[in-house]
Amino acid sequence: MRAVLGIFIAMSFLISASAHALKAGVPLEFESSEQEELYNDMLHELRCTVCQNQSIAGSNASLADDLRGNLYEMVQEGADEQEIKKFMVDRYGEFVLYRPSFDASTYLLWIGPFLLLLLGVIVLRANVRSRSKINRSSDLTTEESELLAKSLNSQKEKK
């Protein structure tokens, strides 16, 4: 019974050690520099869905640990960037990517800021034009301005 308990404890330590090896900042071993470069690039390309706007490289969430673990395994198996992105999007949705693909579901995300900028320019231009029309229409002729000045002077003299 003690031998079984000892084996169980040893296995627990080994499993927990490998789980902690995927924490942020812990160096991992790769077969080639290309794999390491892909892994590091993808760490900054993928977003932690728990932390909202933090990459999985710097997130301390347990989901980020899982994402890093999946990423490490996929890189070790020889997956390329597109395969990794497809797997992550299929599993976690487009939100996991900092730069989602341009398709029917994300076109507004890509074009929206430009449309808002264009709308702002149109509204600003319309506002400036309407103000200049108001200013032009309220210009007084010389006769009207003399009459207004006389009227104002007469009111001052009455006081």
Residues 87 and 137 in one domain: no
- CA geometry: angle 50, 56, 59, nearest 5 deg: 65
pTM confidence score = 0.54
151: its two tokens: 């009227």
Are residues 76 and 6 both part of a single domain? yes
Query: Are both 89 and 152 inside the same structural domain?
Result: no
CB 50 within 8 A of CB 59: yes
pLDDT of residue 21: 42
Query: Residue 5's pLDDT is what?
Result: 56
CB 20 within 8 A of CB 31: no
What is the domain range of residue 154?
A: 107-158
8 and 58 in one domain?
yes
Residue 115 to residue 149: CA distance in whole angstroms = 49
- Is 17 a domain residue? yes
Of 76, 96, 116, the position where a domain reaches its end is 96
User: How many helices (H) does the chain have, and how many strands (E)?
Assistant: 6, 0
Give, for 107, the enclosing helix (H) or strand (E): helix 107-137
Same domain, 62 and 12: yes
Number of domains in the chain: 2
CATH of the domain at 52: 1.10.8.640
pLDDT in tens, 44-58: 888 888 887 788 888
How far apart are the C-alpha atoms of 91 and 66, rounded to whole Å? 12
Residues near 63 by beta carbon (within 8 Å), at least 6 away in sequence: 48, 49, 50
> Is the domain of 84 the same as that of 119?
no
Using the 8-state DSSP alphabet, how is residue 97 labeled? B
- Please say which residue of 43, 66, 96 terminates a domain: 96
* Model confidence pLDDT, tens digit, residues 78-130: 888 889 989 988 888 888 888 777 777 777 878 889 999 999 999 999 998 88
Check whether 10 has a pLDDT greater than 50.
Answer: yes
Co-location of 79 and 115 in the same domain: no
Rg for the chain (alpha carbons), in Å? Answer: 33
Is residue 102 one of the residues assigned to a domain?
A: no
SS3 for 21-62 is CCCCCCCCCCCCHHHHHHHHHHHHHEECCCCCCCECCCCCCH
